[in-house]
A and B are shown apart, each in its own frame.
Chain A
Amino acid sequence: QTVVTQEPSFSVSPGGTVTLTCGLSSGSVSTSYYPSWYQQTPGQAPRTLIYSTNTRSSGVPDRFSGSILGNKAALTITGAQADDESDYYCVLYMGSGICVFGTGTKVTVL
């Protein structure tokens, strides 16, 4: 079964930039996988950030952006703020209506 891989953790300074990636255990991620990104803070339901590779969900600040970098999907946080400290998950579409979550990345802002 295909595994969707993310970095386990990242640390970023306030005001800094961090890029999280979302890859496949075999193969390359393209826009055909419709990558989406979600933010989750402890005890809260996930929040949708990005869909269809690079479209921001309603109300999401423009410091969050999505792209394809090489053979992976990517989420970049530019000008990180303290309340960006969260877990971040990607989702990839695998076909036949089925999607898979990535393993998640814990982002620390300090």
Chain B
Amino acid sequence: EVQLVQSGAEVKKPGESLKISCKGSGYSFTSYWIGWVRQMPGKGLEWMGIIYPGDSDTRYSPSFQGQVTISADKSISTAYLQWSSLKASDTAMYYCARHADYLYYFDYWGQGTLVTVSS
């Protein structure tokens, strides 16, 4: 069974750094892209970017390029989303999802990680 399990909720202050995780299981982690999706409170879904853990090839939405870093550690089947300096506007639910290559869609989803940034 394919599963994506995300790390728990975080409460941070503006300017702090953060790295959240997404652990895949039940499939070959290095053979599928993993993506991240943002959902700000009361708003829609936003496609942030994807990474191919096999070779760490990463693609970012222009809206998120330079704002976040997506990485992966294939030795532990885990993808990451990180911020070097959080802003209040980073407050959101973040989902990871497996991204099917060549068909360009998300087929399995994590449960979400709520990030709250507040002074």
Check if B80 is an interface residue, CB within 8 A of chain A. Answer: no
Residues of B near A93 (CB, < 8 A) are 104
Contact A34 B103 (CB under 8 A): yes
Complex Cα–Cα for A26 and B112 (A): 32
* Residue pair B45, A36 in contact (C-beta under 8 Å): no
Chain B interface residue count: which class?
Answer: 20 to 34
Q: Are A99 and B47 in contact (CB under 8 A)?
A: yes
In the complex, A76 has a CB within 8 A of chain B: no
Q: Whole-angstrom distance between the alpha carbons of A97 and B70 in the complex?
A: 14
Could you tell me if B44 and A48 are in contact, using CB atoms closer than 8 angstroms?
no
Bound CA span A2–B3, Å: 32
Verify A57–B107 contact, CB threshold 8 A: yes
B29 CB, min distance to chain A CBs, angstroms: 18
> How near does chain B come to A98, taking the closest CB pair, in angstroms?
6
Judging by beta carbons under 8 Å apart, are A98 and B61 in contact?
A: yes
A104 at interface by CB-CB < 8 Å: yes
The interface size of chain A toward B, counting residues with CB under 8 Å, comes to 25
Which of B62, B63, B104, B108 lies in contact with A34, CB distance below 8 A? B104
9-residue interface stretch from A16-24, A39-47, A67-75, A78-86: A39-47
Cα–Cα distance between A46 and B38 once the two chains are bound (Å): 12
With A40-B45, A46-B109, A91-B47 as known contacts, state yes or no: A99 contacts B104, CB within 8 Å.
Answer: yes
In the assembled complex, which residues on chain B have CB atoms less than 8 Å from the CB atom of A36?
104-106
Chain A proximity of B9: nearest CB distance (Å): 13
Q: Are B62 and A1 in contact (CB under 8 A)?
A: yes
Do residues B46 and A101 form an inter-chain contact, with CB atoms below 8 A? yes
Asked if B50 is at the interface of the complex by the 8 Å CB criterion, the answer is yes
Q: List 16 A-B contacts (CB under 8 A).
A: A34-B104, A36-B104, A45-B109, A45-B111, A48-B106, A48-B109, A52-B103, A89-B44, A89-B45, A91-B105, A97-B50, A98-B62, A99-B47, A99-B104, A100-B61, A104-B44
- Top 3 nearest A-B pairs (CB, nearest first) are A36-B105, A97-B59, A93-B104
